[in-house]
Every structure is written in structure tokens, then in C-alpha cells.
Amino acid sequence: MTAILWLRRDLRRADHPALLAARDAADGDLVVAFVLDPALWAGAGPVRRAWLAATLEATNAEYDDALTLLWGDPRTEIPALAERVGATSVHVTRETTPFGRRRDAAVAHTLASSGVDWVETGTPYAVGPGLVRNGSGTAYKVFTPFAKAWRAHGWPDPAPRPSSLPLREARGDAEATAAVREALAAPDLPEMPGAGEQAAAVRWQGFLDDALTAYTGDRDLPGIDGTSRMSPYLKLGVVHPRTLLADLTSRRGEGKETYATELAWREFYADVLWHNPSSAWHDLRDALNGMAYDEPADAIEAWQTGTTGYPVVDAGMRQLLGQGWMHNRVRMITASFLTKDLHVWWPVGARHFLDHLIDGDVASNNHGWQWVAGTGTDASPYFRVFNPVTQGEKFDPDGDYVRQWVPELAHLPGKAVHQPWEHPDGYAHGYPKRIVDHAEERREALRRLDGVKGS
């Protein structure tokens, strides 16, 4: 019998329960496949396409060049593949996003009509979304009690990596191969990390050895390499969070607990999306119904291009364009600037981030935006408006991060980079003037909040 393993957000060979289930079901051949959906591919943006393409190449190497790449709608491509190879079962890691769940239901229905088994094994998370419940059996709405219950629930040990597999030779589509090559050759791509399981393992081990001990304090400082940078690998399932959590158990100190809590945030947001599918692109809470939002095209463009005149905001937006990644603290600062200083509804920023972030994950990204905007779970109150100057001075006290990404300010010493308007040579090298006055826009944000409360 032939079995198919359909990869999606699980582009790895290690700690892969669905792979083991597919191997055990394959008395004959195991076909490992990935489908490039033209609709998703076209909407992903060049950075995300290139990161996926690089990861697919690395995954193909992990599977001994036996990855079958298909081009088309998975709802038709997977059933057609099953018929072509005579598969009796299709194996997947359980999907958790609203779109993925709808797609999988359609594929499973079509396969069932042909007598092909649909088998879901495992989840992209340590604890599958929907499994952590409170005492009354309902979902958690606040992070802290969720995290406590999540830890108490626990998770299995990592699954073993199979040493050998009965892999069938890859027979993919020319369109899919061409799309991957074109994505990797796209012009003006940012500098990206190494792709695939081996690159992820090297990065993770380096973090454990060099940065975990100081992680609690260093993770908020964008000017140093104090974070794990594992989010791009987690996004595509190159590494499973269960693997990371297992590796943390042998470590000592506060850093490992802080890092586990950051993973819990990722799992919490996936749980929120599971229970509230519409929150992907709509306010989770209706506390700000009636809020007046603006769509200032020129100001939004300045935000997107890192030319707002506020150094830490501009540094973050330029890092996004330059690396396809942005430090988490700066994500909050830039999101606050768009939503509170420019009064733009959060989905505008969330879509821009997803276009450029190689770790762009709908659950984490969009609920993070809602946290800042004041519409989400555990939301930062709307009246909490990040001051881009004081945030820069606090988290980039020596100005190293700003000088790295805003070369027009490289001549300014120390924290002077955060207020170039106060330095006689602040604009000597062409740095743009501020597009808004933060103090005035803060007052405007609070005025709009009062209007919502009044209504």
C-alpha cells in the first residue's frame, strides 16, 4: 500500500508524528508532497515566497530529494495525487487556522468518496489549540491563567526521527519547480537566515549556549543579538516547539522560564484564533466599536518605508525591509505608532507585516497587533500610547540599533539619535523631519477614545 504525507506547516523530518504514522501505513511506498497553492503564493509577497522556497529546498534534501512539489489548489491536487499513485491514506499534521481547517475538510471529503483514508496526527503546537480549558470547560480569555494551565496540561516528548523511509521518487509539477526558482531569484530580497532543519539546529544551539542565560533581560534590547530568532523556523514547522521545550528542561536559570513563557504566548494566540476564527481580521473585543480611524496614504507610506522622522520607528521598519524580520519590542513600538499616532486600524499594519515577515503567522501577528491596538485579549489599554522617543531611549540606550538601520543618524552620539531635532547636526545627512507631533497625536487618540466611551 502507498501512503501520502502532505506537508504544510511541518517542513521537517525530526519530531514529526504525522510522518511516523504515514511510514507505518506505507507497506509499499511513501510519497512526501507539498502543494504550492497559486492563490496563497500570489498573496504572500516576495520575501515570504523566498523564505518558503528556501525551506522547501532544504526539506527536499532532508527527504533525500524525494519531495514531490505540486502546483494548484490542494482540494484537487491531493486527491489527484492519491489516485495517480494508488494511495490508500493521506497523512497530515492537524491544521488549526480557519482557512486550513476549511481546506482540509474539503480535501478529506473528496478523498472519502474515493475510499482514501484521511489521517490527522499531531499539531504544530506543544498543546493543540482548544485543548487547554478552564474549570468550567471554556476557553481562557487572559494569558496568565492560560499559561499556568498550559504548563499543567503538559505535552509529549519529541517523536523520534526515522532513520530510513520507503520514499517514492519525486514526480512533481514543472510549474512548482519554476515558482521556487523564481522566488529565490527575486530582486532586492532581504538578508535571510539559513533555511532548513540543520540551520535551525545550529541557531538554536547557539542561543542555548550563548544567550539563554541573559535572555530575560536582553530580549527587550534590539541593539544586541539577545533573542533566539527561532520564529521563522517555527512558522514553517522546521522545528517543533515541543523539541525546544524538551531542550530547555536541562538548562538552569530564569532565562529558560522566560523563553517557555514566550512559547506559551504563541500557543495562547493560536488557541484564541481556534475559538474565535473571525479575530484573524476583525476586532476580537468590541470595546472600540465606533472608533474613528484614518487612512492617511502619505503617512502610511512613510511608516512602511521607515521615514516617519521617529528614529526607533524608522529603524524597525527598515529592519523589516532589510531582514524580513523585526525585533519583538520594536514590533510593539511601530504598531503603536501606526494605530495611536497615525490613527490607522490595526489590520492595515498586520497585512503589511505579513507581507514582509518571514515568521509572519496569522495568529501571533494579528493578535499581537490587537494587543497594541486595544481590541484583543490581554489588550494593552487603548490609552497606553507608546512614546517612540522614551521607548527608544529605554530599550536602545546607546543608540546602536538606530545607527545600524538609519545611517543618516550614524554621526549622532549615544542616545542623541533618538531626538535628532534637538541636535544641531541632526538633519545634516538627510534624515526626514517628523511627520506628526507625538504629543498632539496622543491627545487626539485619547479624544477619540473618549468619544467611543461617550457613545
Whichever domain contains 227, its CATH number is: 1.25.40.80
Instruction: Mark whether 118 and 129 lie in a shared domain.
Output: no
Residue 262 has pLDDT above 90, yes or no: yes
Instruction: Mark whether 367 and 313 lie in a shared domain.
Output: yes
Instruction: Mark whether 318 and 427 lie in a shared domain.
Output: yes
Instruction: Mark whether 129 and 248 lie in a shared domain.
Output: yes
Q: What is the pLDDT of residue 380?
A: 65
CATH number at residue 104: 3.40.50.620
Q: What is the pLDDT of residues 217-229, one digit of tens each?
A: 999 999 999 999 9
**Structural domain containing residue 363:** 297-454
Question: Quick one: cell of 370?
Answer: 490587537
Instruction: Mark whether 31 and 138 lie in a shared domain.
Output: no
Residue 356 resides in a domain: yes
Spatial neighbors of 453 by CB under 8 A, at least 6 apart, are none
The span from the CA of 194 to the CA of 418, in Å, is 32
Instruction: Mark whether 218 and 309 lie in a shared domain.
Output: no
Residue 78 resides in a domain: yes
Produce one character per residue of 97-122: b if its CB has 16 or more CB atoms within 10 Å, e if not.
bbebeebbebbbebbeeeebebbbbb
Residue 361 resides in a domain: yes
Instruction: Mark whether 256 and 308 lie in a shared domain.
Output: no
Residue 379 has pLDDT above 80, yes or no: no
Instruction: Mark whether 343 and 365 lie in a shared domain.
Output: yes
Q: What is the pLDDT of residue 454?
A: 59
State the total domains in the chain: 3
Instruction: Mark whether 441 and 321 lie in a shared domain.
Output: yes
Taking residues 12-34, report their average pLDDT. Answer: 96
Q: What is the pLDDT of residues 410-446, one digit of tens each?
A: 999 999 999 999 999 999 999 999 999 999 999 999 9
The span from the CA of 74 to the CA of 85, in Å, is 16
